[in-house]
Amino acid sequence: MDKKRIAVIDLGTNTFNLLIADVTKEEIEVIHSEKDGVALGMGGLNEGVIKADAILRALKTMQHFNKMCDVHYVDEIRAFGTSAIRSAINGKDFVQLIEKETAIQVDIITGEQEARYIYEGVKWTYNFTEPSMVMDVGGGSTEFIFADELGIKDLVSLNIGVSRIFQELELNDPLTSGDCLKVEQWIEERAGVFINSKKCNTLVGASGCFETFYEMIYKKSFPSVTEAIELSINDLNTVLDKIIFSSQEERDNNPHIIPIRRKMAPIAAVKTKWVLDKLGVKKVIVSPCSLKEGVLQS
């Protein structure tokens, strides 16, 4: 049995993720995983530039991830740049700097490639027995993959990430009803054409903020599992409303919201409610897997 230890690094707009696993043709065994709230897109996302302070934070995290790969005797590192990097005028310079400082080569992928990797990751944990919409809420982009038992029917990667909204719109804290309407209209203008053409009973949330929703509902950590978990849609709506109208202080003191999600959680909640309503969702599934696992599956 040929076994290879592979590290996958997802350089996201808000969060950098590292996953190390032993991979064979038959199975994937996770050895180590961690994440860091780099906030790569903060300050320059909507202007299409990665700011100097964000570059310094990113380099520090990548150097740490590189050390962890050495500690775990990784055979191969696969690193992927997503929305903030692909939309930045200095994105290529940034990944060249990472390679110079860490010897890690970063592949800047398209939104479609990102969506396909997300689908492959989710498919590891969820059996598409009926038409379902996969949603991955990112900082720079959000991916939607419409799929059924035969595979992908349609997909899109849209620049409607929570960090883009946070940096573009002037919003109160806590959000007002008017703020919610402003966010919904902003999303509708950019995602309405795709979402309004779809109807399905099931929404599959790809890790990220959906794990936070689980933790707020059940007041415990998301389990370390390789299978998807169904949420009560009534409980989910209650938690979404709680997040939407919470203050920054309340979120900072909530142990079930990890620090990197506390600032923009209300925007993610508004977006999720908008999607639930538009699609007419009756069932919500949380998959613990996304892009990283999809890379390993491929």
Which CATH number is 144's domain given?
3.30.420.150
Task: Please say which residue of 109, 144, 166 terminates a domain.
Answer: 109
Distances (CA, A) of 146 to 128, 131, 195, 208: 10, 7, 10, 19
Mean pLDDT by 10 residues, the chain (298 residues): 92 98 92 97 97 98 98 98 98 98 98 98 95 98 98 98 98 98 98 95 96 97 90 97 98 96 98 98 97 94
Contacts within 8 Å (CB) and 24+ apart, 217-226:
219/256, 222/286, 222/288, 224/288, 225/288, 226/124, 226/125, 226/288, 226/289
- Domain C-terminal end among 82, 109, 136: 109
> Which of 131, 93, 104 has the alpha carbon at shortest distance from 18?
104
Measured in degrees and rounded to the nearest 5, phi and psi for residue 284 equal: -120, 130
Task: Quote the number of domains for the chain.
Answer: 2
Tell whether 209 and 84 lie within a shared domain: no
Task: Give dist(CA 121, CA 115) in Å, integer.
Answer: 10
Euclidean distance between CA atoms 8 and 292, whole angstroms: 6
Q: Which CATH number belongs to the domain containing residue 79 in this structure?
A: 3.30.420.40
DSSP state, residue 46: G
Its pTM stands at 0.97
Q: What is the pLDDT of residue 1?
A: 62
Residues 244 and 272 in one domain: yes
Co-location of 160 and 39 in the same domain: no
The reply to whether 62 and 93 lie within a common domain is: yes
Residues 104 and 251 in one domain: no
Q: What span, in angstroms and rounded, lies between the C-alpha atoms of 111 and 114?
A: 5
83 and 128 both lie in a single domain? no
Is residue 104 located within the same domain as residue 126?
no
Give the DSSP H or E segment for 31.
Answer: strand 28-36
- Same domain for 141 and 239? yes
Quick one: 46 and 123 in the same domain?
Answer: no
Which of the listed residues 92, 109, 126 is the one where a domain comes to its end?
109
Which alpha helices (DSSP H) does 32-152 contain, by range? 52-71, 83-86, 91-102, 111-123
Query: 96 lies in which domain range?
Result: 4-109
Same domain, yes or no, for 121 and 206? yes
pLDDT at 25: 86
Q: What is the DSSP string of 198-227?
A: ---SEEEEESTHHHHHHHHHHTSPPP--SS
Q: Can you give the pLDDT at residue 225?
A: 77
CB 202 within 8 A of CB 280: no
**Domain match, 198 and 153 both:** yes
Same-domain pairing of 62 and 178: no
